[in-house]
Structure 1
């Protein structure tokens, strides 16, 4: 039923567009006059704009079939929520550039939303392949091709919008330059994550450094996006007005970045004091429990014991604690030390210094 209704909508859109064009050429004899009429007529603009949206949807359907195949329910559910949030934020952004609102703005907004959708889907598909490492080679080839196409489009659009802004001064293109820059950073992080998952799968899950590299990848992505958001906020504030739509993104990115800094400092304290925090497992511990490490599924000759009583390889425990400070079996919290407030203060100090230097650098760039 849904496919039939979509097909009817596409057919009606093309037929109505064809009728509008025929009507324009019947009223205006020459090609130029007919084009001018189509651009100035409100009805013609709406009909042809709707036809453009339909064409974009068809291209999206084609790209989905080629690069992704059928979407999973989880991907569709996430996509609907993200599209709704993106449209609301874009409507708020339009209020900042309302004096420059035109058909070009609408066209770039449609392209931006189109690319965002496939960025979200590629990231979700990378997460799915991380959970299902035995995906066929064709699925990997399609995903790699999609990310390569998206990366090329991101770079091209960032360069085009930024070049125009630097040559002709402030315009609504600065919004799209920053948006495409954020997408590029996110895509680079997704590509890196995919490469790490592929390498770990090749090594049969025995790559100990994967967790730490993944953490640095996400930390660098959040830091880079935070710089871009702050730069855009200062730029728009300097040449336009207060960009309310970007405050939410700055807050969410800052919160994620702060949490990663806190987690990293806590993990670094754990890693540097493993012997003091966790005692060595005794033969009695091995006889009471199981010699098989639940993380790597291999037999243990030596191990560390958590406060909850579960034992693990030292190497496996370190790798696990990079991701979360809880027991892999019972999920009990791992108590680091009594210096938790110091850890938070260190994270706040790191963030404060980072934001001061980033803001100073960006302000100097605009002056």
Structure 2
């Protein structure tokens, strides 16, 4: 109800802005002398347009109307995709918008000429990108909530998922418009138009891939729960679930690593371009820019190091844990306790609990504990004696796994999607820890 009320208020305010603009333009035309040639049927369209746009009040009213129309569009899309936001979602959206404006818009006045044309252009640029980031973060958080909800349906999930498709489409369209604009303007300043849209595009593409897999899982569960008509489908799904889950985990992990590096490079390019256009002036703002660049470079190198540690730890995990036999899988009802999905292949812990290797990697990737343990019984990760191929070698291997996990995986996530100093929301951990 609050969302509908806000939409109605914004629509009424937009109508009032349009009426005020129409009244002011009419008063200007009534008080202005008739353009030459108008009485003879000549073209006077350019004269009345220049008369109307020559007033600063008219320009202000036009900007006000455009802002109201944009607000109505944003509220309509928000209601369409998310219906109503919770208080927590509203707070997070405001925090993201404030951080984005502070970290991306604060430095623009250093290089943007102080004229009305440039101010309108870069304000529109920043406002559109803030809206895209808002919808992107909202969609990611809402999809994570739906994925954890047992009552989520494919239609509800796809409704929110469509917001990511809209963000990607709008971002691609905006990049095309920026390309055309830069071709008509021979200025290095407009190279700044591309860094942030490219970063948003790659991040949205990653979210589409990750949540697309989750949408596929929800659709499969919906089919299997719908009745006996899908027994054949359920049987084939069980046979392929293990290998598909492992392949998907690798794809998400590697693609997420590449996207993290690209996002860091886009932020690095944004600040480097501002620093280059401004030049070295040895002011306080230059020190802030250098600190941002230094933090981005450190985050870039840290992301590479933690990814290498992650690869080493997870590759050791596969060899250290024994494969579950067919009888073991049947005894545990062919179901992974992490993803609640069927198992064709599984790894067996010392406590005899079975999991998909990809799911176990995802559990360990999260780095939420100092000591890594079984997801079911919380027993410390180790090997039992009856499954030990070579006792000394396996014990050493497990110790190596624990050391690598405790040292490397707790530092897996690094900031940098929005700003190098900004801390990431813990709910965003799925973008690189989902296996």
- TM > 0.5 fold call: yes
Gap change, CA 1:57 and 1:249, over 3 Å in 2: farther
Alignment map for 1:300-315 (pairs within 5 Å): 303-305=348-350, 313=355, 315=357
Question: Aligned-pair distance for 1:139?
Answer: 2.9
Alignment map for 1:96-175 (pairs within 5 Å): 96-99=111-114, 101-132=118-149, 134-165=151-182, 168-175=185-192
Gap change, CA 1:128 and 1:97, over 3 Å in 2: same
- For 2:108, what is the secondary structure of its paired residue? helix
Matched, 1:91 2:106: yes
TM-score, normalised by the number of residues in structure 1: 0.71
CA distance in 2, matches of 1:197, 1:246: 39
The CA deviation string for residues 85-107 of structure 1, in whole angstroms up to 9 with x for no partner, is 22223133233213463433333
Equivalences, count: 333
Match of 1:27 among 31, 45, 48: 31
Q: Where does residue 75 of structure 1 map in the other structure?
A: 89
Residues 158 and 178, structure 1, Cα contact 8 Å, conserved in 2: no
Residues 10 and 54, structure 1, Cα contact 8 Å, conserved in 2: yes
The CA deviation string for residues 54-113 of structure 1, in whole angstroms up to 9 with x for no partner, is 010111122223333222333222111111122223133233213463433333333333
Alignment map for 1:216-365 (pairs within 5 Å): 216-241=254-279, 260-274=303-317, 294-295=337-338, 303-305=348-350, 313=355, 315=357, 316-324=359-367, 326-327=372-373, 328=375, 330=378, 336=401
Gap change, CA 1:39 and 1:107, over 3 Å in 2: farther
5+ residue gaps, structure 2:
36-44, 222-240, 325-334, 382-397, 413-435
RMSD over aligned CA atoms reads: 4.2
- For 1:54, what is the secondary structure of its paired residue? helix
CA distance in 2, matches of 1:62, 1:279: 54
Match of 2:21 among 17, 20, 28: 17
CA distance in 2, matches of 1:280, 1:114: 48
Residues 225 and 253, structure 1, Cα contact 8 Å, conserved in 2: no
Match of 2:80 among 41, 63, 66: 66
Question: Aligned-pair distance for 1:162?
Answer: 3.3
TM-score, normalised by the number of residues in structure 2: 0.62
5+ residue gaps, structure 1:
282-291, 348-367
CA distance in 2, matches of 1:250, 1:129: 37
CA distance in 1, matches of 2:202, 2:120: 28
Residues 321 and 347, structure 2, Cα contact 8 Å, conserved in 1: no
Higher normalized contact order (CA 8 Å, seq sep 6+, divided by chain length): 2
